[in-house]
Structure 1
Amino acid sequence: MEDDTGAAWRNLPQRPMVAPPDFWTLPEGRRARGHLMGRQYGGSGDNLRNLVPLWAIANRDVMKGVEMDVAGVIKEGGQEVKYEVLAIYDGKKSGVPKSIHIEAHGMLGLNVDCLVMNNNEPKEKVNLSVVPVAWDGEMRRVDFREMIDVDSWSSPTPVEVWLGIEEWAGGGLPGDFKEFVDLYGDGIVRGHLYVPHPCGAEPLIDFMKRGRESLRSVAHHYLGDSRSPRFDVDSVIPWGYSDWDGDQCCLVPRGKEAWDILVEFRQFGCVRLYQGCFSTFISGVLSGTAAPPGWPGSGPLWKALDRSPLV
């Protein structure tokens, strides 16, 4: 495509760089050559297939922020990530996209799905959550709604509620865990595993606080047990309780962005670490193929808590 200012391949007057189609139609000083695959990932600045015209504020203040966040996860957490970017046009004969759709899904819980709006408005981005998805340890897409074929809660947890939980937890929690809890919290998995909801009968943050203090009171027994891995009680995030034998399930951080599952086996007097993301663990419980020892491998996949205020 060419515009009325000359060929798309013409050099910028200031620097020897190629310009994408219709780049020159945006105001000087407020335009940018947007990289679909960012330079952080080795994206080319000389290949037109990787360049689109963007408003500078959308490129600098929004798209770059998403790219840097994802790049940080890859660099610091050792997380394998599937990254896709799509330029969306409004049907007019213009090379300027109306938005950029970015998806990034990692094997350890990273879940980014957003639209960067290509306009001159500051920091305009739309986070999408049409179908909550996650990735298990083998990079297979996990759709919780396909695994649990029953009606889930339809209203997402208010952002400020999650922010309060994550502030107490000391940082962001894994996306696949939050998606599952939004859909199926305040319910019973496999007839025995209670998973609270942020707005449920016992709010998730109250459950987390109570569970951590309970674990703290007996942690010295586990830390002195040769069967149990070392762990920091203050970094443990309780999220589930089995009424089959009193076992408690917790998130524990592994590195900056990776998470494992710690199960407190109260009947066995030890704890066990399940490496991998939340999706891998809960998928094993749901399928019955990788349930912790002593847990039932059958029972209803999910049932809403009778006293839940979400019903």
Structure 2
Amino acid sequence: MNAIVTRNMLDEGTDARNTIFPPGYQSGVGQARGHMLANQLGGSGDEWKNLFTISQNPTNTPWMSMFEQRVYDAVADGDVVTYNVYLEYVNDDPDSPPESIHLEAFGHRKGPDGKLRFDQEDIRQPSSRRTWPLILPGVTMTTLTALTTICPPPASPPSALDWSPVETELGMRLPEDYKQLMATYGPGEFCNFLSLYYPHAPREAAALTGPMPARLRQQIEEVRHNARLPWPLPHPPEQLFATGVTGNGDYLFWVTQPSDKPDAWDVAVNQALRAPWYTFTGTLTQFLLAVIGGTTRVPSFPEDLLDNGTTFTPARPIVEPTTPTDQQDSMNPTEIRAWARANGHPLPDRGRIPIEIIEAWKRGNTV
């Protein structure tokens, strides 16, 4: 079983249904119907694939329940935890009770030392037999798939991008999670509020490859130095690369350190280039999952951000103004009226010429 546990999942599970008998289960012999994804972590007790036979003591309680409590506490404290449960069976036979259980949990937030705040692995009754990962319907495995679960992307995926020339133009590699994010969602707006910059966007203000990232770096210093009491910056401007903007004028930046490890870049948020700054330790996709999933609140973001649901709205295509054709330039109302009368179309001397007559005139006067 593989899941990403977010705060909105806590305490949303159900007790094991007593009409479900997992393989090998016997009543009255100290066994229990164990949840792979725990009840308190949002796991269903009505789905037979989430239940397995487990000894009540000491495996279910206290071993597994203590581990699940650590996951629960980490998520309640604001983390988003990837949680994996593997069952190992005698002779690889999934129709028998599992011989051992392997639990893993990894947080998505890092501490001041750069390490994950939550990183747990617990193996009971180790075995040389291979594991059987059981993926439950609707349970996600990666940060991106977790994001798409709570905030569905467009039904039609955007056109594939060739990232090599984009990175050459920028002079740096881009985080893989950003490329996958753009390939899934494309340009648009999350929760009618937050937009990410996109390579070669039609408007330069939204283009990752446009002048905005460099312009914003310069403006950060200008705004700060023009203040009566300049505030300290949490990151040198040369390490900041703009990657998005909100409807309130908050800017999102990658903190491009280490410069050669883009997958390790954190996300910084700033309100209109002024203080204060907020730094999220994690990738851009992890930031979106945490904000949209409700486990992280950016101080400058509105409190009612999620009140209208977690949505993504694709950017509308920009319709370029058409250049007048020679035929349009040469249209003369007097000539059109004369042509209309000569061809049996009744038309008064004054007033707007109906579009149907104009189109008929065009067809009859095509060069």
TM-score (ref. length: structure 2):
0.40
